[in-house]
Structure 1
């Protein structure tokens, strides 16, 4: 299914802050919450969805707070296998995605590493934007899924970012 990419919205950082505050209120005030995904990179075209990385102590911490998050409209929903993911919809449209990572994994989370690299390397941010636009076109023609089409560029960029930090390469595909 093709995705809609929109121009960067300068309101995204404020939206993120509001959502992060809500998550801490609904979950645990001590959670670290960071803006990840393309809406966290000024100037980048993106799906109009705020992605968040939430640092939980461990999976039990997530499970303790999950019922309250669900009560406030969050639901489990993702093909991701490596960590819990909750989504939030408004009027039937997904507007935010929260990825929950344990404290033990926090420093090596690919989504955080990619975001930081793209913020520091505008040429790679531009390259990734082009890959996403190509992925939308490939998905529209039925040649590939959106995620599969952009994954090779993400993998190459994340590999370089991890190498720069002295970390080994790991697969970015978590579905």
Structure 2
């Protein structure tokens, strides 16, 4: 994990708050910064995660997926994102060549993936399912609130604890969109 998590494990409180209608504007502001920094290298910039779902309680951290031609080619985006004020936090060459940057304020996570990465399809399917299906949104929110009340060594452990419900919701989303799984 030390070679993936730059700076090592950080113990942080997991705080889930009610939906904040300012989150879409915060995303747009960050998307503009990213777009200015990367120009045409950013093939897509998407608001994902819980803050992208109106009405859903969330950790107040804006998650953004950015698609580039090849996320393993850090020279095409890393210097520009660092110059724009983001800090590289995660480098996962064995998981979709994923990179994650964050703001110094720890309120924005920018996930870098390559064009065509299945994980981005999964993120968008999850977001869209939660936006369209209140029962899944309530199920997910209940799990998040319950888990947030526990003591976690770091945010990754909290995220891992949500995996089962997240995978169930993604599976429903992908089946309904015809992008995966049996009918």
Q: CA RMSD in A?
A: 2.5
User: Which residue matches 1:173?
Assistant: none
Alignment partner of 2:159 out of 144, 147, 157? 147
- Unaligned runs of at least 5 residues, structure 2: 1-10
User: Which residue matches 2:122?
Assistant: 110
**Partners in 2 of 1:140 and 1:68 — Cα distance?**
33
- Residue 17 of structure 1 deviates from its aligned partner by 0.6
Is this contact kept in 2: 1:39–1:51, CA < 8 A?
A: yes
Residues 1:22 and 2:37 are matched in the alignment: no
SS in structure 2 of the partner of residue 113 of structure 1: helix
User: Which residue matches 1:131?
Assistant: 143
Residue-pair matches, total = 165
User: Which residue matches 1:64?
Assistant: 76
**Partners in 1 of 2:108 and 2:127 — Cα distance?**
17
Alignment partner of 2:23 out of 9, 12, 17? 12
Is this contact kept in 2: 1:55–1:106, CA < 8 A?
A: no
- Unaligned runs of at least 5 residues, structure 1: 170-175
Alignment partner of 2:104 out of 82, 86, 89? 89
Q: Quick one: structure 1 residues 14 and 129, their matched pair in 2 at CA, closer, same or farther if it must change by over 3 Å?
A: same
Moved more, 127-136 or 157-166: 157-166
SS in structure 2 of the partner of residue 51 of structure 1: strand
Q: Quick one: structure 1 residues 129 and 99, their matched pair in 2 at CA, closer, same or farther if it must change by over 3 Å?
A: same
SS in structure 2 of the partner of residue 27 of structure 1: helix
- Residue 107 of structure 1 deviates from its aligned partner by 8.2
Q: Quick one: structure 1 residues 73 and 136, their matched pair in 2 at CA, closer, same or farther if it must change by over 3 Å?
A: same
Alignment partner of 1:3 out of 6, 10, 14? 14
SS in structure 2 of the partner of residue 145 of structure 1: helix
Q: TM-score, normalised by structure 1?
A: 0.83
- Residue 40 of structure 1 deviates from its aligned partner by 0.5
Moved more, 121-130 or 59-68: 59-68
- Residue 136 of structure 1 deviates from its aligned partner by 1.1
Q: TM-score, normalised by structure 2?
A: 0.79
**Partners in 2 of 1:114 and 1:62 — Cα distance?**
27
**Partners in 1 of 2:147 and 2:56 — Cα distance?**
15
